[in-house]
Amino acid sequence: MDAEQLCSQLAAKGYKMTNSRRKILNSMASEPDWMTAKSLHDKLLQQNVHIDLSTICRNLDMMYGLNMLCRVDKERNGTFAYRLQDMQNHHHHLICLSCGTIVPLEYCPLEELQERQTKGFSDLECQFEVYGYCQACQRAVKKPAER
Ligand SMILES: [Zn+2]
Ligand SMILES: [Zn+2]
Ligand SMILES: [Zn+2]
């Protein structure tokens, strides 16, 4: 999906196409890497584009909510990294702790839960990430020495 398609998607959902919104979308559409709000902010600054970090945060979160972006807690510290949606269906990600590679994972624990029990909760959302070592890293990685 390119920036123009994303823009018209947003417009179709009733979102105003502000200048900063368009810049953020353009930047995300041309960016193959996972970006945090901070790294996107820095990238835009390098291009002399000044957008508040909080505006970037809000827009990334909004676009994630609309399923336009994928989101992972890559460093396991609550700082989300985003990229353009890499799969059509709802999915999660495998994250390599060594090289940082992120792979889409076609599995959602919520589906199973909904078949069994939800304790009366509605509008369920899930945040689910799996961490480990990718195949390329398994040979290279040295496990920490046992104490
Ligand atoms: Zn994804
Ligand atoms: Zn790896
Ligand atoms: Zn899910």
**Per-domain residue ranges of the chain:** 1-86, 87-147
Predicted confidence (pLDDT) per residue in 57-91, tens digit? 999 999 999 999 999 998 899 899 999 998 888 89
Tell the CATH topology of 1-86: Arc Repressor Mutant, subunit A (1.10.10)
Query: Distance from the CA of 126 to the center of ligand 3, in angstroms?
Result: 5
Helices 53-65 and 37-46, interaxial angle, to 10°? 120
Tell the CATH topology of 87-147: Dna Ligase; domain 1 (3.30.1490)
Strands of 35-36's sheet, edge to edge? Answer: 35-36, 81-84, 69-72
What's the pLDDT at 97?
A: 93
Mean pLDDT over 33-40 rounds to 96
Please state, as a whole number, how many other Cβ atoms lie within 10 Å of the Cβ of residue 98. Answer: 14
Lowest mean pLDDT across 20-24, 53-57, 119-123, 129-133: 119-123
Q: Which ligand is nearest to the CA of 90?
A: 3
Query: Distance from the CA of 11 to the center of ligand 3, in angstroms?
Result: 26
Query: Distance from the CA of 85 to the center of ligand 3, in angstroms?
Result: 14
Query: Distance from the CA of 132 to the center of ligand 2, in angstroms?
Result: 8
What's the pLDDT at 147?
A: 55
Query: Distance from the CA of 101 to the center of ligand 1, in angstroms?
Result: 12
Confidence class for position 145, pLDDT limits 50, 70, 90: low
As given in the structure block, the two tokens for residue 11 are: 């417009």
The per-residue pLDDT of the chain, averaged, comes to 90
